[in-house]
Amino acid sequence: MAQINAPAPEIEGQFGEAIWVKVFTTELIGKEPAKLEDLIGGNPKVEQAEVETEWQLLQTDPGNPNAGQLESGYGVPVGPNAASILRRYEFYKYAGDYDPDNNEALVGSDSNPADFEIGTYLGAQNGAANFNVAAIPEPETYAMMLAGLGLVISIARRRNNPRLL
């Protein structure tokens, strides 16, 4: 789960600058967890992402401390074979009008913008979460475990057979 906050207002008591966010999701199936290199733009795992949240307008509201937050990951079903989930967040400038009194975005719908309300592309952020990743022991770990087990067996045999002392 990720939480994205809208920009803080420049003037206290006013609404902050509005931005559009679009969220894409890729569910990675199998045993291998997502790696850092999977998060780089142009990576096939990033490019195959499907839209999770078409559009969400984020804007801080001085009267509502919970406004202006996007919490991605709630309510999105993850398949039973998912090893990890990769999300791409794209940010766009709000190009519509603002209320001159309090700087509130005058938008028809905060999840279905008109073409003229979507401004320039600001950037993107990729993130991933790995599920149920079990640590795979290194060969040295097995060697130490077998040596310890051999030592325990040897001590037990000596205790049971006094001639070995």
Output the pLDDT for position 164: 54
Q: Per-block average pLDDT, block size 10, for the chain (165 residues)?
A: 74 88 85 81 82 87 77 59 84 93 89 91 88 69 83 79 60
Output the pLDDT for position 165: 52
Are residues 3 and 69 in contact, defined by beta-carbon separation less than 8 angstroms?
yes
Output the pLDDT for position 76: 58
Spell out the residues 6+ positions from residue 85 whose beta carbon is closer than 8 angstroms to its own.
Answer: 25, 26, 27, 28, 34, 73, 78, 128, 129, 131
